[in-house]
Chain A
Amino acid sequence: MSRRPAAARHAHRPAAPAGVVAARRVVLDNGLVVIVRPNPATASVAIHLSLPAGAAFDPPGQGGAANLAARLLDRGAGGLAADRIALDFENLGVAFVARPRLDSLDVTARLLARDLPFVLERIQVIVTEPTFPEAEVAAERARILTEIAERDQDTAAQADERLAAALFPEGHPYHAPASGTRASVERVGQAELRRFHAARVSPIGAVLCIAGGVDEKAAFELARRTFGGWRTDGRSDDRPDGRPSPGVTVNVIPDAPAPEGFRVIVHPIAGKTQADIALGFVPGVHRRGDDLQAALVMSSVLGEFGMGGRLGLEVRENAGLAYYAHSYVWSGLGAGPIVIRAGVAPANVVRAAALIRKVVAEFLRRGPRPAALADSRQALTAALPRRFETNPLSAAILADCEYQGLGYDFPDRVPERLAAVDRAAVMAAAQRYLTPKQAILVVTGPDIPPQRLA
């Protein structure tokens, strides 16, 4: 008997489950990609639906539209009122969350396997027929405005926001915070949300992953029955990029230009006892670029392995200057930034910032020690089974890889790609992405004269 679901008219030939992925993928007639990863050891199921409606696609002047839309999906849909939706989920103990990321709007649910048919049907209604009632829009907008006021006083959030605003020029999809600004949120009402939903929420470009205690064939059939009839108009603002995920539409987000020089931004927030430091570089890594693994190994050696790589060793362990000091690479549909972050006592900001820049300069000059390179490579490879231990993590990773155009089976190709990362590749990535003379340094918290940081 064929194990290929009958509904999979456009399906690739399913690869035999192997490695950590152990999942199969089909594409429904309407373009929705469905991935199922059975995990018979558990009585639960995780659902992860990624929709091409992230904050990067907020309409001009309407920053925060995706955030507002995500938070209102379950506040009225089809013929169901918000109370009914909440009661039905919570009566079953379902953990339901809809939240915007930069590139996608993600709907997730964690539930007992027995409730999958009901919950999937309900999610279909929520995603495809939200009503955005006026009263709910007004209430949610007021909540978000309170959160923005809180965020304005948050040193860590301000460091991230101001860094993004400086690295990505105005109008770039990654320039503004996902939750929008006070002014932009106030411009989003019911009509704008309905337009945003109609323009962005579509099976074309969406990925549904079901992971957990399910029968694979039954889960595919359930997904087809529930979502197979979902139809929307074509999307004029999307364009297929020909990457190895037929059925997925990937929007192209332009690279940000490199900063013209090294620039310091100090954003004082009164009454704070600690400063946040953020040092950022663009253009960063492309998620589907050939050097993604080299960049990840670079960041691991520089600021992640152990207590925070070389940065953690020098800034936290040896100098005792910070509770945390680390780096990370973010990369989505567009090239994100490479960022170094630290939380530092106000008296130590100048010293810590100088030490961070010195560590970066030494890394560029000397590169990774062979042992450190080998350690980071091994750690990244060995961590794969752990990352797939739980159903929510598995569903999130598989949906993300597919959504980003890497293919759901990308994690199984990671060990081979990591093994190919050598010192030359890491050095090349460092020289390409760590540009100390073209970077933005943001400090938030108690006031520090910028000239002391230049």
Chain B
Amino acid sequence: MTRTAGASTPRGRGPAAAARPVTATLANGLRVLLRPMRQAPLVSVWCWYRVGSRDERPGLTGLSHWAEHMNFKGTRRIPREEITRQVELAGGLWNGYTWLDVTTYFETVSRDAFEAMLRLEASRMTECLYDRREVDRERNVVISELQGGENDPRTFLEREVAGTALQAHPYRWPTIGYLSDLRSITRDELYRHYRAHYSPGNAILVAAGDFEPRAALALVRRHFGRIPRGPAVPPVRTVEPEQSGERRVTVRRPSGAAYVHIAWPAPAAADGDFATLLMADGILAGGPTVNLWSGGQGRGPSKASRLYRALVDGGLASDIGTAVIPTRYPYLYSIQATVRAGVDPARVEAAILAEVAAVARDGGGDVDRARARNQFMARFALESESVTDVAHQLGFFETIGDHRQWLDLPRRVQAVTADQVARFTAARLDERHRTVGILVPAAAAATP
């Protein structure tokens, strides 16, 4: 005999909310979040900057990402190879990334190397070199990264959809930048961008791991406390004008499959409707994550979700995916499908829209809503266990607004009602606000 698990009656209590960090703001404006976690002799240090592709303009797209690359090229006190060497000798994992709102660098290392990582990040904040020869070499590396991404035809579709759905806000251009800009950006433009945005007043230092918070804060003060606050960074002024009708875009590229990508304007992370969107996404696609760093790892598709059952089980698509991305300003919610061979993409588009319309009518129903809620709660707990994940999540949300928005998400998601889901979906995920992109496989000869 086999048992079944009921969606409406989760057994036991839900996972406890993630513990709050110790917080401080230094006199120079550096925001500090420290979260002790003693399960392993490790510490994860993340230094976040409130700068991303939103802080660029046409002609200079890709500056933030390229600057991130340059900040691995050595500082006045730390030679190029030493930056990664110090981390790896401490058993560490290191990396950095640039996104719409943020640029970040991290090291997860043995606890004994905590102070060395603070020293490294303080040096990276203040004294990177931007050697002209290094800038020229890295231009090729960044262009290679761009072109590697473009080998996946879906990159073109995503870029077209974002650029069509957003017509004014700087979220519309790709984080990596346009090829023409990457070919012409100068060393001095890169360096000015670095100096304008890398300062304590525009940064958040986060650590999670095996340390005592008071001693850790003293170390942070020692290494960052004397750095001048830096210039104030202006907020993005442009507000995306409201869309007033469906937009469509077709991309023709050599491709092994056709793809459908539909996007709608999405609420910012601080918006009360963000949790409602998470619930709607959970009903449609199952198990939403708000962890951009590791949220996709170790998971298969949600086979009980409405989109999977309609599209994949329905024989229309070989794969589906959705994206809910926490952002400072309103961005996009998207649903993507890989069209099964021999199927008309129009049928896939129609099936996606039918499922969205059904959620607008029923708000997900009690069973699907309970499942989406349970999936979110479990996923939140599972993604709050490693020092790297916790430091990432605290820092990411603090950089786009406030870390408490992340800590509070379980409560907010649990409180979402069917009526809220229905009203949100009907009003926001509708024909008037959507942008539909189709990638049609094209013969190679017809492409550049």
B-binding residues in A (CB < 8 A): 39, 41-44, 74, 78-80, 82-84, 86-97, 108, 110-112, 114-115, 118, 121-122, 125, 139, 142-143, 145-156, 269-274, 305-307, 313, 316-323, 343-345, 348, 375, 378-379, 381-386, 388-392, 445
Cross-chain pairs A/B with CB under 8 angstroms, 29 sampled: A41-B39, A83-B304, A86-B304, A89-B5, A91-B10, A91-B304, A93-B374, A97-B300, A112-B378, A112-B381, A148-B256, A149-B256, A150-B338, A272-B254, A274-B147, A307-B72, A319-B137, A323-B144, A323-B145, A323-B148, A343-B144, A383-B88, A383-B93, A384-B91, A386-B40, A386-B108, A386-B110, A389-B40, A390-B386
Tell me if B2 and A78 are in contact (CB < 8 A).
Answer: yes
Tell me if B91 and A386 are in contact (CB < 8 A).
Answer: yes
With A87-B304, A91-B371, A274-B150 as known contacts, state yes or no: A114 contacts B11, CB within 8 Å.
yes
Chain A residues with Cβ below 8 Å from B109 are 386
Chain A residues with Cβ below 8 Å from B374 are 90-93
Interface size band for B: 35 or more
Tell me if A92 and B5 are in contact (CB < 8 A).
Answer: yes
Give A272 to B254 CA distance when docked, in angstroms. Answer: 8
With A111-B378, A112-B15, A306-B88 as known contacts, state yes or no: A95 contacts B39, CB within 8 Å.
no
Give A381 to B92 CA distance when docked, in angstroms. Answer: 11
Of A87, A344, A378, which contacts B144 at CB under 8 A?
Answer: A344
Tell me if B42 and A90 are in contact (CB < 8 A).
Answer: no
Chain A residues with Cβ below 8 Å from B84 are 306-307
Chain B residues with Cβ below 8 Å from A317 are 80, 137
Tell me if B299 and A378 are in contact (CB < 8 A).
Answer: no
Give A307 to B254 CA distance when docked, in angstroms. Answer: 32
Chain B residues with Cβ below 8 Å from A389 are 39-40, 42, 386-388
Q: Is B196 close to A, CB under 8 A? A: no
Of A95, A142, A318, A348, which contacts B340 at CB under 8 A?
Answer: A142
Closest to B16 in A: A43
Cβ contacts B24-53/A at 8 Å (1 or 0 each): 000000000000001111100000000000
Minimum CB–CB distance from B30 to chain A (whole Å) comes to: 27
Q: Which of B57-90 contact A (CB under 8 A)?
A: 72, 80-81, 84-85, 88-90
Minimum CB–CB distance from A84 to chain B (whole Å) comes to: 6
Tell me if A108 and B257 are in contact (CB < 8 A).
Answer: no
Give A150 to B337 CA distance when docked, in angstroms. Answer: 13
With A92-B378, A112-B378 as known contacts, state yes or no: A445 contacts B88, CB within 8 Å.
no
Chain A residues with Cβ below 8 Å from B88 are 305-306, 375, 379, 382-383
Minimum CB–CB distance from B362 to chain A (whole Å) comes to: 17
Give A252 to B421 CA distance when docked, in angstroms. Answer: 56
Closest to A117 in B: B3
Tell me if A274 and B151 are in contact (CB < 8 A).
Answer: yes
Tell me if B91 and A93 are in contact (CB < 8 A).
Answer: no
Cβ contacts B211-232/A at 8 Å (1 or 0 each): 0000000000000000000000
Chain A residues with Cβ below 8 Å from B11 are 114-115
Closest to B6 in A: A91
Give A291 to B76 CA distance when docked, in angstroms. Answer: 40
Tell me if B150 and A273 are in contact (CB < 8 A).
Answer: yes
The stretch that binds A, out of B164-172, B311-319, B393-401, is B311-319
Instruction: Report the tally of A-B residue pairs with Cβ distances under 8 A.
Output: 235
Chain B residues with Cβ below 8 Å from A96 are 300
Of B3, B7, B90, which contacts A382 at CB under 8 A?
Answer: B90
Closest to B81 in A: A306
Known: A379-B89, A385-B42. 4 other contacts (CB 8 A): A44-B385, A93-B378, A95-B299, A274-B148
Q: Is B139 close to A, CB under 8 A? A: yes
Tell me if A322 and B144 are in contact (CB < 8 A).
Answer: yes
With A139-B315, A153-B255 as known contacts, state yes or no: A274 contacts B144, CB within 8 Å.
yes
Tell me if B375 and A88 are in contact (CB < 8 A).
Answer: no
Q: Which 8 interchain pairs have the tightest Cβ spacing?
A: A93-B378, A270-B444, A382-B91, A320-B137, A41-B39, A271-B254, A86-B303, A149-B256
Chain A residues with Cβ below 8 Å from B137 are 317-320
Chain B residues with Cβ below 8 Å from A305 are 85, 88
Tell me if A271 and B447 are in contact (CB < 8 A).
Answer: yes
Give A319 to B286 CA distance when docked, in angstroms. Answer: 45
Tell me if B81 and A149 are in contact (CB < 8 A).
Answer: no
With A93-B374, A273-B150, A306-B81 as known contacts, state yes or no: A42 contacts B140, CB within 8 Å.
no
With A42-B385, A97-B298, A306-B81 as known contacts, state yes or no: A88 contacts B4, CB within 8 Å.
yes
Tell me if B152 and A320 are in contact (CB < 8 A).
Answer: no
Chain A residues with Cβ below 8 Å from B189 are none
Chain B residues with Cβ below 8 Å from A87 are 4-5, 7, 304, 371
Q: Which of B273-323 contact A (CB under 8 A)?
A: 286-287, 298-300, 302-305, 309, 312-313, 315, 318-319
Minimum CB–CB distance from B15 to chain A (whole Å) comes to: 6
Give A313 to B376 CA distance when docked, in angstroms. Answer: 42
Q: Is B382 close to A, CB under 8 A? A: yes
Give A395 to B241 CA distance when docked, in angstroms. Answer: 50
Minimum CB–CB distance from B367 to chain A (whole Å) comes to: 9
Q: Is B138 close to A, CB under 8 A? A: yes
Give A185 to B257 CA distance when docked, in angstroms. Answer: 18
Give A237 to B42 CA distance when docked, in angstroms. Answer: 45
Tell me if B15 and A321 are in contact (CB < 8 A).
Answer: no
Q: Is B379 close to A, CB under 8 A? A: yes
Tell me if B151 and A152 are in contact (CB < 8 A).
Answer: no
Tell me if A271 and B444 are in contact (CB < 8 A).
Answer: yes
Tell me if B138 and A391 are in contact (CB < 8 A).
Answer: no
Give A118 to B5 CA distance when docked, in angstroms. Answer: 8
Give A319 to B141 CA distance when docked, in angstroms. Answer: 9
With A92-B10, A153-B255 as known contacts, state yes or no: A108 contacts B298, CB within 8 Å.
yes
Give A348 to B318 CA distance when docked, in angstroms. Answer: 36
Of B15, B39, B92, B340, which contacts A39 at CB under 8 A?
Answer: B39
Closest to B82 in A: A306
Chain B residues with Cβ below 8 Å from A80 are 2
Tell me if A383 and B91 are in contact (CB < 8 A).
Answer: yes
Give A274 to B444 CA distance when docked, in angstroms. Answer: 15
Minimum CB–CB distance from A395 to chain B (whole Å) comes to: 11
Q: Is B253 close to A, CB under 8 A? A: yes
Q: Is B235 close to A, CB under 8 A? A: no
Chain B residues with Cβ below 8 Å from A391 are 385
Q: Which of B354-381 contact A (CB under 8 A)?
A: 370-371, 374-379, 381
Minimum CB–CB distance from A19 to chain B (whole Å) comes to: 12
With A42-B385, A43-B381, A147-B318 as known contacts, state yes or no: A95 contacts B298, CB within 8 Å.
yes
Of A143, A379, A385, which contacts B319 at CB under 8 A?
Answer: A143
Give A320 to B145 CA distance when docked, in angstroms. Answer: 11
